[in-house]
Structure 1
Amino acid sequence: MARPANGPVARMEAAFCELRRQRRNATLLGGAILLACLLMAGWVSEFHPATLWAGLPRIGEYFSRIAPSLEWGKLFAGTDTEGSLAFWMYRLDDWGLLLFETAQMAALATLMGAAAGLLLAFPAARNLGLPGWMSEVARRLLEATRTVPEIVFALIFVWAFGVGALAGILAIALHTAGALGKLFADAMENIEMRPWEGVRASGGSWFQACRYAVLPAAAPDLLSYAMLRFEINLRSASVIGFVGAGGIGEELYKVISFNYYEEISAIILLVILAVVCIDLASDALRRRVIEAVS
């Protein structure tokens, strides 16, 4: 004959089953609300599955058009031989110079934006002992600069300074300051505070504590975010060239406008390769910084 369940054990099992049932119901309710929100968003934005399904073949057709017509037997022939790599990249020297200009725009804008974002990150971090109103003002300022897309800033600066790289650099730098300032402040808030407390307890000033406690602890994350932003800015510098802000973007806009399909794929491939190089350099730099501060 089975022994009756112990009273406390039975109550614990009942409470566990009840808690699991409540969580399951909450999950189902949350899923239903999320599905309703997605359906509402699709209806408002006219995201119709039938339209998407009808357009997918056209996307494939476009990619097939921009794909180069390479032939293995002619792959390494000269620029006059259709089907060769040289024929596909026949303007590699011009595109390389434009891509170099775009990378310089992205690098300078990233440096300017990172410097401004770092200065604003210290007051934006809530754990560094500054007044609360200062943190709120810094965070609202960062939000304002990163909310406006780079291309809008580029249009404003093109109108103010004329067509050229300067407008693109300023537009990207302004947006970068807002984006990196937020990430830098979050990285500072996540550091271990004992070094900070030690510097302050030994008589160090607020600036000295930031220099010798906060920066070394947050440096790997700060560098990683900055290099990631450099990748993003390279893409942004390519896009804002569409509005006359210089770089490879102007050339890409031209070949897209005139439907020079193979040239489109060649330029896109060069941009992808540049981003890959930046990512590899970022990884190497981050490892070296971690080794230096650890």
Structure 2
Amino acid sequence: MTQSTIRLPDHQIELLSAGYRQELAKRRQMTLIGAVILALAVLLSGFVAEVRPGVLFENIGKFTSYFGRIFYLDNGALVFSDIGEWFWGFWKWGKQLVDTLLIAYLGTLFGAIFAFLICFSAAINLTPKAGIRFAARRYLEFCRTVPEIVFALIFVVAFGLGPVPGVLAIMIHTIGALGKLFSEVVENIDMKPVEGIIASGGTRWQSIRYGVLPQVLPNFASYALLRFEINVRGASVMGFVGAGGIGQDLIEAIRKFYYSDVSAILLMIIATVMIIDIGTERLRHRLTTMEQGR
């Protein structure tokens, strides 16, 4: 059996081709206009913010030279030539690094607890009252919008120097970040178990306990572990404003131009974060596997 192909007349093909070329030209024109508007917006924002590319290129050598200096000891030798001299403060820095980890741990723990308590009020499928949902979401936005370093400065004034301001600053920012993530997880659950518990006479908290938590706990734990990684990095700079941790020695080394100390402290922070990343990554994968196999 032969199949015949229907071919349009030449004038119809030309008409359709002309329409296609016209639409394609319009789309290219709109793309070009959008690119021009974006370029103008970038230039205008740079002008208003007083961004000077000339200053950047003029001083770029100072930036690269600093990274060259941190790999030399005071005697001019490479840091790798004398590891003992390079890490002369290893035990002191190690103790402060432990303080940094504890600050991040406590801030993450308390922040995750409060985020857990608030997230159900911010979820639209569990909180039909718009007023309560609005208040919960705006509070979470406030917590995660204000930078941690600003909270740390405020708490340093209130509570003095030490790890307490760092823990509080990280805790508040963690409440906002995890509260948002937790509420989105809750909003994507299967509501049939919840509806079944409520239909059988269960209370709101019973529906959350037996209908929601079994579905969301693995994701909650995964997000909390991810946030802990982020908070370790954040806690490392809390010491810049006197909020405890290894950041105090790091900012002192930077200000006093102790170049080899800067590289040693940075290397310790990087190694610690890498170890934590590897460990928490494996835990997150296990939790994700448990959730998929459930």
Residue of structure 2 equivalent to 1:49 = 53
Classify the secondary structure of the residue corresponding to 2:237. Answer: helix
Residue of structure 2 equivalent to 1:219 = 217
Cα 1:5–1:50, aligned 2, differ >3 Å: closer, same or farther? same
More deviation, 258-267/203-212: 203-212
TM-score (normalizing by structure 2): 0.85
Residue of structure 2 equivalent to 1:162 = 160
> Cα deviations across residues 209-234 of structure 1 (Å, max 9, x unaligned)?
33334333333433332222212222
Residue of structure 2 equivalent to 1:97 = 95
CA contact (8 A) 1:110 1:226 kept: yes
2:290 to 284, 289, 292: 292
Classify the secondary structure of the residue corresponding to 1:290. Answer: helix
1-structure distance, mates of 2:130, 2:273: 39
Residue of structure 2 equivalent to 1:31 = 35
Cα 1:166–1:55, aligned 2, differ >3 Å: closer, same or farther? same
TM-score (normalizing by structure 1): 0.85
Cα 1:15–1:245, aligned 2, differ >3 Å: closer, same or farther? same
Question: Shift in Å at residue 14 of structure 1?
Answer: 6.3
Cα 1:36–1:85, aligned 2, differ >3 Å: closer, same or farther? same
CA contact (8 A) 1:227 1:278 kept: no
CA contact (8 A) 1:122 1:128 kept: yes
1:58 matches 2:39? no
1:268 to 252, 266, 271: 266
CA contact (8 A) 2:198 2:207 kept: yes
CA contact (8 A) 1:154 1:240 kept: yes
1-structure distance, mates of 2:28, 2:204: 49
Residue of structure 1 equivalent to 2:82 = 84
1:4 to 9, 13, 16: 9
> Which blocks of at least 5 consecutive residues in structure 1 are unaligned?
76-82
Letter in 2 for 1:63: F
More deviation, 104-113/194-203: 194-203
> Cα deviations across residues 79-122 of structure 1 (Å, max 9, x unaligned)?
xxxx2222211211111110001100100001111111121111
2-structure distance, mates of 1:123, 1:254: 44
> Which blocks of at least 5 consecutive residues in structure 2 are unaligned?
1-6
> Cα deviations across residues 16-60 of structure 1 (Å, max 9, x unaligned)?
555544443333232222222111111111222211112221111
Letter in 2 for 1:153: F
2-structure distance, mates of 1:62, 1:218: 47
Percent identity of paired positions between Structure 1 and Structure 2:
44
Residue of structure 1 equivalent to 2:112 = 114
Letter in 2 for 1:37: A
Question: Shift in Å at residue 255 of structure 1?
Answer: 1.1
CA contact (8 A) 2:219 2:288 kept: no
CA contact (8 A) 1:113 1:174 kept: yes
Question: Shift in Å at residue 264 of structure 1?
Answer: 0.4
CA contact (8 A) 2:240 2:247 kept: yes
More deviation, 230-239/260-269: 230-239
Classify the secondary structure of the residue corresponding to 1:140. Answer: helix
1-structure distance, mates of 2:201, 2:23: 52
CA contact (8 A) 1:105 1:168 kept: yes
1-structure distance, mates of 2:38, 2:217: 38
